[in-house]
Amino acid sequence: MKFTGKIWKFGDNIDTDAIIPARYLNIRDPQGLAAHCMEDADPDFMKKMKKGDIIVGGENFGCGSSREHAPIAIKAAGIACVVARSFARIFYRNSFNMGLPIFESRTLWGEVTDGSEIEVDADTGLIRIPGVSADPVRIQPVPPFMQELIADGGLMNHIAKGRAK
Amino acid sequence: MGMTITEKILSRHAGLEEVRPGMLINARVDIALGNDITAPIAIDAFRKAGGKEVFDTKKVVLVPDHFAPNKDIDSAEQCKLMRDFAHEQAITHYFEVGEAGIEHALLPEKGIVVPGDVVIGADSHTCTYGALGAFATGVGSTDLAAAMITGELWFKVPETIKFIYHGNARPWVSGKDLILYTIGRIGVHGALYRAMEFVGEIFRVLPMADRMTMANMAVEAGGKSGIFIPDEITEVYVRKRAERPYEFYTSDPDALYHSTIDIDVTKIEPQVAFPHLPSNTKGISEVGNVPIDQSFIGSCTNGWIEDLRVAAEILKGRHIAYGHRLIIIPATPAIYRQAMKEGLFDIFLDAGGVISLPTCGPCLGGYMGILAKGERSVSTTNRNFVGRMGHPESEVYLAGPAVAAATAVAGRLAGPEQL
Ligand code: SF4
């Protein structure tokens, strides 16, 4: 897995109410949710972002409610992946279960500015920031079981596969 | 080497002699919960994966509480989808409007969750049931779908942080103040991925409701779960309710903890968490002059009968400030009836408050009590994120029922002792 894109940088504790406000939770359609992605963190986000862009967050990204609508909205908006210093645990679980690629990196946040281009290489576990730094940034390794989930295409496919055995 | 209560419950449910933090396990799930927001997505996933029948019709629980009674056409569709599924699958614990209350108050009240359980819920405040000595944690809708099919789910065994509360509480200090103070101290990711185990002499005198309030907010510190060691108070609460056999687990003296945090309760005054994080806490004596437009007393955090009694004690013979709105929501129909019987409704109505049917309501800015731009609400709920109760430029101040009631009277942030 490799992603190259422009980043949108957010701070610490970006909560699920900021990612997709509760007032839109009566919507279930991914595109309908995507229309309000990050609305309470940046009201113009959907106007400015392009498909393939990358979100970079600080600590505890995705904290708050268990709503899967949050990773669904981000994925449906066309965001390629999210890299944060740390993720709230339900958001972390949900993202793997949904197939939204997310990566933890303690250091990336400090090295990039809004609008930088980065290259995330999940296979080597390295992120490059062309033109800013020659040294790549390391991603926290993903546990083998979670890699298996992604390889199977998310939790439900993983289960379907297991049951077919 | 010993295990913590959390490790013991998980090892038993995984069919293992022993588990250690960091291990990935597959555990049997006693109860799998969904609500009108999260269950519809789970039901879609259930069907897409070829699910035909839920693993156990008594162990899947569905509660319409967030946007129910239906607030608009879209929520009506979501509630209907869940209702149809519940009927199709003959789900025992589906609660229709009239029987339904806020899920995290309803499940313990009805004895559906019991000590020693592993409970997963597609709602982040599922951690509330840790109050009973169960391992309970919030998950997403896809996890719920998986559990509905298989009756199992994968977990990473969490490390545990032990919180020891020393000394007795000052007047008007409740479980809400203890947990707000704790989150203020460790921050909103202070317990990220970890179990929070709450111990201390003080819990022998605080009622079960205070434990529920504290376990409820473990997720606000990033915690995977919050848990209390069951004791006589648990026994009294559970004995007359439990619909299944239950088991009390305890932590071994030589159990290994990630860390231990000591908290001096005698120093804690009623707390307020300022916008926009639950960790932004101050003691009531330090809040300054903050005019407040609305007070909300309710939610899975503080919609218990004990909370309503505290509010009534303060509101009795008093009236809320001119121009202020006071909204009170008992968390379940049983609490509603009890409050009515005890005459609390007269006190609230005489004070100028309004009482709503059991629902999440204003807590998540869903419906009722939505805030306009620039408005401020004091709220006994658990989150004060940007836009949580309405306009992105409105503000939420989290507090316990005593501060919320006193604030309604004063029209600005106040504790009972300032009235
Ligand atoms: S009362 Fe609030 S926090 Fe509790 S379940 Fe309802 S919306 Fe969630």
Q: Which atom of ligand 1 is nearest to the CA of B383?
A: 3
Query: At B371, phi and psi to the nearest 5?
Result: -95, 140
pTM, two decimals, is 0.94
Q: Give dist(CA B7, CA B290) in Å, integer.
A: 44
Question: How far B233 CA lies from chain A's nearest CA (Å)?
Answer: 30
The answer to whether residues B248 and B310 belong to one domain is no
Residues above pLDDT 90, as percent of chain B: 97
Q: What is the tens place of the pLDDT at every residue in B336-356?
A: 999 999 999 999 999 999 999
Per DSSP (E only), the strands in B89-231 are 93-94, 118-121, 135-138, 152-156, 160-166, 195-199, 225-228
Residues above pLDDT 70, as percent of chain B: 100
Q: What is the CATH number of the domain that holds B343?
A: 3.30.499.10
Closest partner residue to B37 (CB to CB) among A40, A43, A67 is A67
Q: Give dist(CA B269, CA B282) in Å, integer.
A: 9
The 3 state secondary structure assigned to chain A is CEEEEEEEECCCCCEHHHHCCHHHCCCCCHHHHHCCCCCCCCCCHHHHCCCCCEEEECCCECECCCCCHHHHHHHHCCCCEEEECCECHHHHHHHHHHCCCEEECCCHHHHCCCCCEEEEECCCCEEEECCCEEEEEECCCCCHHHHHHHHHCCHHHHHHHHHHC
- The region of weakest confidence among A134-148, B120-134, B251-265, B368-382 is A134-148
Q: Which atom of ligand 1 is nearest to the CA of B35?
A: 5
The answer to whether residues B257 and B317 belong to one domain is no
Closest partner residue to B38 (CB to CB) among A23, A66, A156 is A66
The answer to whether residues B49 and B149 belong to one domain is yes
Closest partner residue to B140 (CB to CB) among A13, A68, A86 is A68
The answer to whether residues B220 and B326 belong to one domain is no
Q: Which domain holds residue B405?
A: 271-418
Domain end, chosen from B263, B286, B317, is at: B263
Phi-psi region of B207 (alpha: psi -120 to 50; beta: other; left: phi over 0): beta
Q: What is the tens place of the pLDDT at every residue in B103-134?
A: 999 999 999 999 999 999 999 999 999 999 99
Domain end, chosen from B214, B232, B263, is at: B263
pLDDT at B83 over 70: yes
Nearest residue of chain B to residue A85 (CA atoms): B189
Q: What is the tens place of the pLDDT at every residue in B283-334?
A: 999 999 999 999 999 999 999 999 999 999 999 999 999 999 999 999 999 9
Q: A-B interface: how many C-beta pairs under 8 angstroms?
A: 131
Write out the residues of chain A at the interface with chain B, using a CB-CB cutoff of 8 A.
13, 15, 17-18, 21-23, 25-28, 40-41, 43, 59-60, 63-69, 71-72, 86, 88-90, 93-94, 97-98, 143, 145, 154-157, 159-160, 163
B208-216 vs B232-239: helix axis angle to the nearest 10? 100
The answer to whether residues B286 and B379 belong to one domain is yes
Closest partner residue to B139 (CB to CB) among A40, A93, A154 is A93
The answer to whether residues B151 and B118 belong to one domain is yes
Q: Separation of B406 CA from ligand 1 center, angstroms? A: 23
Taking CB atoms and an 8 Å limit, are A63 and B188 in contact across chains? yes
The answer to whether residues B340 and B393 belong to one domain is yes
The answer to whether residues B204 and B292 belong to one domain is no
pLDDT at B180 over 90: yes
Domain end, chosen from B206, B233, B263, is at: B263
How many domains, chain B?
2
The answer to whether residues B213 and B304 belong to one domain is no
Query: At A7, phi and psi to the nearest 5?
Result: -100, 150
ipTM: 0.89
Whether the Cβ atoms of residue A100 and residue A75 lie closer than 8 Å to each other: yes
Question: How far B159 CA lies from chain A's nearest CA (Å)?
Answer: 13
Domains and CATH numbers, chain A: 2-160 (3.20.19.10)
Nearest CA to ligand 1 atom 5: B300
The answer to whether residues B247 and B300 belong to one domain is no
pLDDT mean across residues, chain B: 97
Ligand 1 pocket by C-beta < 6 Å: which residues?
B 66, 102, 104, 123, 125, 299-300, 360, 363-364, 381-382
pLDDT of residue A132: 81
Give the pLDDT of chain A (165 residues) as one tens digit per residue: 789 999 999 999 999 999 999 899 989 899 999 999 999 999 999 999 999 999 999 999 999 999 999 999 999 999 999 999 999 999 999 998 888 889 999 999 999 999 999 999 988 889 999 988 788 999 987 777 777 877 787 788 888 887 654
Instruction: Show residues of chain A in contact with B383, CB under 8 Å.
Output: 15, 17, 64-65
The answer to whether residues B94 and B231 belong to one domain is yes
The answer to whether residues B77 and B220 belong to one domain is yes
